[in-house]
Amino acid sequence: MTVKLIHLCINVIPVHSQCLQDEKLALLHFKQSLVFDPSTSSKLVSWNSSIDCCSWAGLSCSEGRVVGLDISGECISGNIGNSSSLFNLQHLQSLNLADNEVGHGSQIPSAIGKLTDLSYLNLSNTAYSGQIPIEISHLTRLEILDLTTPYFPGNPSLNLESPNLNVLIRKFSECPINSSLLKLQSLSVVRIENNNLSTQVPEFFSKFKNLTSLLLMNSGLYGTFPKKIFLVPTLQSIDLSGNPQLQRSLPEFPKSGSFQSLVLNGANFSGQLLPNSIGNLKLLSNVDVSTCNFIGSIPRSMEDLTQLVYLDLSRNQFNGTIPSFCMAVDVLMYIS
Specify the range with the lowest mean pLDDT, choosing from 85-99, 150-164, 225-239.
Answer: 150-164
Q: What is the pTM of this model?
A: 0.59
Fold designation for 19-199: 3.80.10
* Structure confidence at residue 168 (pLDDT): 60
In single-letter form, the type of residue at position 272 comes to Q
DSSP 8-state class, residue 132: P
Q: Is 122 within 8 Å of 71 (Cβ atoms)?
A: no
At 296-332, the pLDDT tens digits run 888 888 888 888 888 888 899 888 777 666 655 555 5
Report d(CA 30, CA 22) in Å as an integer: 12
Report d(CA 161, CA 163) in Å as an integer: 5
Chain centroid to Cα 270, Å, comes to 27
Q: Residue range 138-155: average pLDDT?
A: 75
* Domain 19-199 shares a fold with domain 229-336: yes
Q: Which helix (H) or strand (E) holds 139?
A: none
78, 69, 74, 73: which is closest to 26 by C-alpha?
Answer: 69
Backbone angles phi, psi at 32, to 5 degrees: -65, -25
Three-class DSSP category at 184: coil
At 232-269, the pLDDT tens digits run 999 999 999 999 999 999 998 888 789 999 999 999 99
Per-domain boundaries in the chain: 19-199, 229-336
Chain centroid to Cα 69, Å, comes to 17
CA atoms within 13 A on the CB side of 231: 11
Report d(CA 312, CA 303) in Å as an integer: 15
220, 96, 206: which is closest to 151 by C-alpha?
Answer: 220
Distances, alpha carbon 299 to alpha carbons 15, 24, 231, 318, in Å:
64, 60, 20, 10
Q: Is 153 within 8 Å of 124 (Cβ atoms)?
A: no
At 173-216, the pLDDT tens digits run 643 323 333 345 567 888 877 777 778 888 878 888 888 999 99
Report d(CA 309, CA 17) in Å as an integer: 49
* pLDDT band per the 50, 70, 90 thresholds, residue 334: low
| 280 vs 261, residue with greater confidence | 261
Report d(CA 110, CA 131) in Å as an integer: 10
* pLDDT band per the 50, 70, 90 thresholds, residue 140: confident
| 32 Ramachandran zone, left/alpha/beta (phi>0; psi -120 to 50) | alpha
In single-letter form, the type of residue at position 103 comes to G
Q: Is 98 within 8 Å of 128 (Cβ atoms)?
A: no
209, 124, 137: which is closest to 175 by C-alpha?
Answer: 137
* pLDDT band per the 50, 70, 90 thresholds, residue 4: very low
One of 3.40.50.300, 1.25.40.10, 3.80.10.10, 1.10.287.110 is the CATH number of 229-336, namely: 3.80.10.10
* pLDDT band per the 50, 70, 90 thresholds, residue 42: very high
